[in-house]
Amino acid sequence: MSDRDERREARRKRRIRNQIVSYLVLCIMLAAAAAGAYFGITAAQSAITAKRNAKEEMLQAALEESRAQETAEAESAVAELLELGETQQETETEEYTPQAALDEMVEECINAMTLEQKVAGLFFVTPEQLTGVQKATAAGDGTKEALQKYPVGGLIYFKQNIVSEDQIKEMLANTVSYSTFPIFLGVDEEGGSVARVADALNLENVGDMADLGSAGDAQAVYDAYTKIGEYLSSYGFNVNFAPVADVLTNEENPVIKDRAFGSDASLVSQMVTSAFKGLEDHGVSSCLKHFPGHGDTDSDSHETAAQTDRTKEQMQEVEFVPFTAAITEDVDMIMVGHICAPELTGGEKVPASISESIITDILRKELGYEGIVITDAMNMRAITEYYETDVAAIMALKAGADMVLMPEDFVAAYEGVLKAVQDGTISEERVNDSLKRIYRVKYADKIENSGI
């Protein structure tokens, strides 16, 4: 082989070797690139996976936190609702007391009344005054029609109205059935000289209160008035104008005498409290009389003006004591007498029954009495000799009385009061206040019997 051929062969081999080297380098580079790509992709995938896992974990944690928060909020909301419900239930339970139920019943009754019915409800009259008959011994169509026209708050009966047990039961039962609203059916049944029912029906008389008081036995007084309460309620009466709460400080007193328990204020207080509890334990409301105290007077207000000159301090220590004791025990009704007491009225000689100073300032505000205030009979001369029947009724209501007892002319008194309310002399709100006190007593037994 020539040198030229050898060189050509050497170049060919070198070229082949270089190509092989290039191929090898290329393969190595490709392998490296592939390996890099693989590891890069793997790393990327790992990073992505890790990131995705972290994100998922964050989302899961957030979700769990959210759920926990929602659960806590829900539980808190439920707890608040339960607590609110319990509070409302407790509030409703607290509010729906017997007193609340009674007030609601009273409000509904008064709101359903016309003004004419409201005014009529302030009067306590005889069946004769209501119907116009000379002597009432039965309740029929005349009573029914009269009660529809004048739905009075109460009727008071005397011996002339009572013929027999069956007769008086039927008369009172019919009267109740004819009355649009609950009605008081009252009588004077003190015992002793004032016992309308016992005298008419020849029942055993419990005797004079002076005798019971002198014995100083409060239980004996309770028993006596329990007996009275038993027979009154059995006939249908629900109000007794008794006991007398006057302290007899004037032995020459012409009207109180043996009707009082005595001259010691403390003893009279005990006897009076026992007496009215005996009545009320049998569903008969008691009416104490005669505020501010008739025991010192030397005149009979049935016949003429009566006056006491005792000072307020003296009366606070004596006359007021039995009334204060009864007020503490929630007596249903107090009668204000036709007694002038200038020391209580700033020198003004006006009967207590029409005196704002005595009824509102002393009995209501100073002694704290919230029950029914009723006047003594307004057909007594201590009133009729000085005041027209309608004027006296208006004055009594403006002074703070809730009920007007037996005006001389019922229709005239009723029409006078109605006009006074219509022209604003007496506000309807003032009338409503009296009716609330009246109907709290009338409806009290319904609440007691309901079990509320």
- DSSP letters, 233-274, are HHHT--EE---B------TT-SSSGGGS--S-HHHHHHHHHH
Question: Measured in Å, how far apart are the chain's first and last C-alpha atoms?
Answer: 140
pLDDT recorded at residue 94: 54
Model confidence at 82, pLDDT cuts 50, 70, 90, reads: very low
pLDDT recorded at residue 44: 43
Q: Which two tokens stand for residue 308?
A: 């006491």
Please provide the average confidence, as pLDDT, over all residues in the chain: 86
pLDDT recorded at residue 19: 53
pLDDT recorded at residue 78: 40
Model confidence at 101, pLDDT cuts 50, 70, 90, reads: confident
Higher pLDDT, 146 or 23: 146
Rounded Cα–Cα distance for residues 191 and 118 (Å): 34
CB 278 within 8 A of CB 221: yes
Q: What's the whole-model pTM score?
A: 0.79
Reply yes or no on whether the pLDDT at 237 is more than 60. Answer: yes
Higher pLDDT, 238 or 17: 238
Q: Which helix (H) or strand (E) holds 191?
A: strand 189-191
pLDDT recorded at residue 69: 54
* pLDDT 10s digits, 145-175: 999 999 999 999 999 999 999 999 999 999 9
pLDDT recorded at residue 63: 44
Q: Which two tokens stand for residue 344?
A: 């209580």
Which residues does 346 contact at the CB level (< 8 Å), separation at least 6? 357
Helix (H, G, I), strand (E, B) or coil at 155: strand
What's the whole-number mean pLDDT along residues 386-396?
98
Model confidence at 43, pLDDT cuts 50, 70, 90, reads: very low
Which of 33-37, 161-165, 265-269 bottoms out in mean pLDDT, i.e. has the lowest? 33-37
* pLDDT 10s digits, 194-210: 999 999 999 999 999 99
Reply yes or no on whether the pLDDT at 292 is more than 80. Answer: yes
What's the whole-number mean pLDDT along residues 399-407?
98
Which of 92-96, 189-193, 333-337 bottoms out in mean pLDDT, i.e. has the lowest? 92-96
Which of 49-53, 234-238, 317-321 bottoms out in mean pLDDT, i.e. has the lowest? 49-53
